[in-house]
Structures are given as structure tokens and as C-alpha cells.
Structure 1
Amino acid sequence: MTPALASLGEALKTPTPWLDPYIAIAGQVASAAPSGSVADALNTARGASLEDLRFVAQTALPEGEPYESFIFRTGCIPTRDNLHDLFNGLMWLSYPQTKRQLNILQAQQLATRGNPGSRGPLRDALTLFDENAAILRAPTPLLEALRQRNWKGLFLDQREQWAAARLVIFGHALMEKLLQPYKAITAHVWVVDAISDESLAASLDPSRLAAKDFLPLPVLGVPGWWPANEAPGFYDDADVFRRPRRES
């Protein structure tokens, strides 16, 4: 078993809140190909929604061809034997429509701007979403506090409101960071009315993405996500829970 698959298996023994939505599919992946590569494990676990796509070794990517263009052209997802690509694959298995839409938009931008070329705001936002997004559906008081960077209002005054909220980690780089948690880990939050693969894919409006309609959220401040945030003074750390610039 590769170290990445072994690490995922260890994490599943004591799953954290951020991993909860992925326990079933992650368990399939972790046990799918114990003597094979990450790509092998992901291919074994993929379902009908990914029949036309497959995970391949990183060496299959031709030199000079952009990763996103290669996926769009071939239906093959280059995959290294590391946690970063393992979590990327986990997102493909969990949110295939959303990952396809991200890939389509990236490929369109590459075709328009060329490679190398100016990335532009849309490509930058697509990368942020893919690597570091967290998806949030929440009651209005929480959303207002988050937009205002009112951290004590968000995490203390409105603490009980989190029971009615749902926060799902989507970015695979963000998931990798959370295996070794530290207080300052911050997600780019994408606010939605519903969390499903179909609705999330539909929310990827290019104009909204290009405007970088994200909200910063130190995810380990979320009630129940890290025991340390029960301690008095946890949210007093201004290096993590920063005020808006106009107030700083």
C-alpha cells in the first residue's frame, strides 16, 4: 500500500468532522487496491458516473500539455502517489459533475488565452475553488456575521446556529492540510442554497467566479471541528481571526 493510501486509512480510524461526508467513498478507496497505486485504487472505486473517465499515472501527461487540457481531451486524470492527488481523486468520485464543470471552464480558458499565457481572474478563481474551497449552506445570521468578519458573532454569539448549517470541504489541498491541523487553516468559502453535486456544478457561474465571490473562513474555528476552540480566548487571536481591512 502506498503511504498516501495508508495515511487515508489511518485518518478513517478516527474520522474528523471534515472527513465525515466522505467516509464511505474514502473507505472504498483506501481498501480498493492495497498493493497498487493511488490511480489503481481510485479506478477500482469509481462508479457509473465516471465510466468515461479514468485515473492514470502522472507519466501519461505529455510534456508541455496543460493538465486541465489533457483531462478535457482524453478523459484521463494524471495522478501521483501522494495525498494531494488522492484527495483530488476523492473529489472526482464524490462530485463528478462539479469537477467536470471546473475542468471544462479551465480548458476553455486555456484554449482562449493559450499556454503559457495570462491566467486571468477566472482561471485564478477556478484554481482557488478546486484547491481550497469549502461549501457552506447556513442560516442568514451566520452568513451575515461571516461577511462582516464578525468572528465572535459567528462563532460565539451565533454558536447554536451552526447546528442548522452545513460546511463541506471541497478543495483537495485544503483536505490535505487538515490531516495535520493548525489554527490558521483558512478556506475560501463558496455560499450555496443547497449542497449536492448537481446544485454545486450549477453554481459555478463564470462571472461569479471571476469576481472571486469567496469568503475567508478559519475552518478550525467552527464549533465541533477542533476541541481547542472550546477554550476561552481561542477567538482572540487577531493573526487568525482578522478584522476587515477598513477596520484594521
Structure 2
Amino acid sequence: MAAGGVSCPPAQPCLDAIDWRRPWLAPLASMGQRVAARVQAGAGVADALNALIDEGAAPPPGVRFVPQAALPPGMAYEQFIHAEGRVPTRDNLHDFFNGLVWLHYPAAKRRFNRLQAGVIAAEGVGAVRGPLRDALTVFDENGAVLLAPPALHEALAARQWRRLCVELRPLWRQARLLLIGHALLEKLVSPRKQVTAHVYKAHAATESVVNVDGWLAAGLSAQRLAAKPFNPLPVLGVPGWWPENENFCFYDDSLVFRSARIA
């Protein structure tokens, strides 16, 4: 969903602010730096993304990127992508990251789009998205996937922050947190403690998953997503991702690391 985001005219100042050494950007850094270099040389974001595909530096995502002006007035963004195979893209940081996620997780992004388009075709675009479109929007904008041993998933679900990030810290060496949400990536260009990912709960431990994109796309059922199977995780609390969390008092901030609600 490319709605929202901070406009960046010109794009260069926003792209210059990206620190590609951040651990959460590791999966995207190689492609991201190539796209950024083209934009900084004067290309539009859509053209820079397409160039990476044309060069064979990124796998074809099943779509092409086009300027935002290609989206007809009154037509839903997701409906247009589904019908035309083209992603309207603005020259800003939000859509820059959206394009990178399309290149890196094409099967998952296509699954998001098909589900969104299916609901739009059946129900139209109303004032309220409904449970499935709402869940898809949350995940597409701010989602993440945690591949980790069961103990970490259990502590995260219970919001046991000390257990998750302090007592079980050695287990994070066996874990991977992959950021899917492009709005989340945009927010982390200026890291703040309260930036929170909505982590997709796996059915089981998935530390052995090789093709995360295919696994994720296959597991995204409409029924499961409508139930919002996500757990909040303040990203800077991930061990090894932010120097300040080496001091365990970092997790005593009850405004950020909130306890689970008691039913």
C-alpha cells in the first residue's frame, strides 16, 4: 500500500539518510544501494527499480513499476496492480522501500495484492476496509517475520520482554527477524525506540526455512490473516540491532515494552 509516506522532492536527501549498515537492512542492502545510486543520478524511483530487473540484478517480481500518474483517477491502487501488473510509484522514500520489498519478496507481495483485489472485487472500496484488508494493510505496511526457536515465539506472544530479550538472548543467534513492511523500513531511517513491527506468527518453528518468500506466500490464507496473527515487537529491542539495548534497563520502558493485557 503506497498511500501515505513522507514526500521527498528531490529524492536524494531522503536516500542519503539511509544507513545501509543497519542490521534490519541487510537483506535489502545490495539491491537497495543500486536503486538508490540510480535515483541519486537523476532517475525516477520507478525507472531505477525497473532497471535493476532489466539488468538481471533482481529477479522479475511479476510486475513493472510506473509513475503514480499512471493510476487512473478513482481506481483503487491494489485493483490497478492486479489488473495491469504495474505498481504506481512516487519519487519518495515510502515507495522506494515498497519497490525494494517487491523485488525481494515478490511472491508474498503478489499474494497480498491478490487477496486485496479479491476483497475489492467482491465488496468494493468502502469507508471501512474490513478485517482481511485491514490485516493485509497492517502487515504490508508494518509487518515482519520472525524465524526463531519456539521459546522466542512464546515469549514474544506473552510480551515477556525481559525473558525474550535478556534471559533468552543467546537464542537470538539462531533467529532471523525479516522486515516486510515498507512503512516500517521508512520509519527506521530515523530509528526511534517506539518503532514497532507487527510480527507474523508462524505455525511452527521455521528456523530451517530457506525460501522465506515462497513459504510466507503459501501460508498467507485469508482466514488466518483476518484473525490478525501478529505480535508487536519494538524493533530496536532486538538483541544486536541497537547498541543501547546492551544495557538491559532499555527494556524497563513500560510505554514501549508494554505488558500483555489480561483478559
Taking structure 1 as the reference length, the TM-score comes to 0.93
- The count of residues paired between Structure 1 and Structure 2 equals 246
| Match in the other structure for 1:175 | 185
| Greater per-residue helix proportion | 1
SS at structure 2 position matched to 1:216: strand
CA distance in structure 2 between the partners assigned to 1:8 and 1:187 by the alignment: 22
Moved over 6 A (4+): none
Residue from 31, 50, 60 that aligns with 1:43: 50
The Cα of 1:41 is off from its aligned counterpart by: 0.7
The Cα of 1:121 is off from its aligned counterpart by: 0.4
The Cα of 1:2 is off from its aligned counterpart by: 6.5
The Cα of 1:124 is off from its aligned counterpart by: 0.4
| Match in the other structure for 2:125 | 115
The Cα of 1:180 is off from its aligned counterpart by: 0.4
CA distance in structure 1 between the partners assigned to 2:35 and 2:235 by the alignment: 25
The Cα of 1:10 is off from its aligned counterpart by: 4.9
Residue from 140, 145, 153 that aligns with 1:135: 145
Aligned partner letter, 1:229: N
CA distance in structure 2 between the partners assigned to 1:52 and 1:175 by the alignment: 22
| Match in the other structure for 1:149 | 159
Q: Does 1:199 align with 2:215?
A: yes
The Cα of 1:187 is off from its aligned counterpart by: 0.6
Structure 1: state its 5+ residue gaps: none
Structure 2: state its 5+ residue gaps: 1-7
The Cα of 1:210 is off from its aligned counterpart by: 0.4
The Cα of 1:4 is off from its aligned counterpart by: 3.3
The Cα of 1:145 is off from its aligned counterpart by: 0.7
The Cα of 1:50 is off from its aligned counterpart by: 2.6
CA distance in structure 1 between the partners assigned to 2:157 and 2:179 by the alignment: 19
On the 8 A contact 2:193/2:256 being kept in 1, the answer is yes
Q: Which structure 2 residues correspond to residues 224-239 of structure 1 after superposition, within 5 A?
A: 224-239=240-255
| Match in the other structure for 1:21 | 27
Aligned partner letter, 1:180: S
| Match in the other structure for 2:4 | none
Q: Which structure 2 residues correspond to residues 150-165 of structure 1 after superposition, within 5 A?
A: 150-165=160-175
The Cα of 1:241 is off from its aligned counterpart by: 0.7
Share of identical aligned residues, percent?
A: 52
Of the structure 1 ranges 190-199 and 226-235, higher mean CA displacement relative to structure 2 is found in 190-199
CA distance in structure 2 between the partners assigned to 1:164 and 1:225 by the alignment: 14
Tell me: CA distance 1:64–1:43, structure 2 relative to 1, closer, same or farther (3 Å): same
| Match in the other structure for 1:99 | 109
Of the structure 1 ranges 169-178 and 44-53, higher mean CA displacement relative to structure 2 is found in 44-53
On the 8 A contact 2:61/2:106 being kept in 1, the answer is no
On the 8 A contact 2:17/2:189 being kept in 1, the answer is no
Q: Does 1:241 align with 2:257?
A: yes
On the 8 A contact 2:61/2:102 being kept in 1, the answer is no
On the 8 A contact 1:2/1:35 being kept in 2, the answer is no
Taking structure 2 as the reference length, the TM-score comes to 0.88
SS at structure 2 position matched to 1:56: strand
On the 8 A contact 2:61/2:103 being kept in 1, the answer is no
The Cα of 1:219 is off from its aligned counterpart by: 1.0
| Match in the other structure for 2:231 | 215
SS at structure 2 position matched to 1:217: strand
The Cα of 1:100 is off from its aligned counterpart by: 0.7
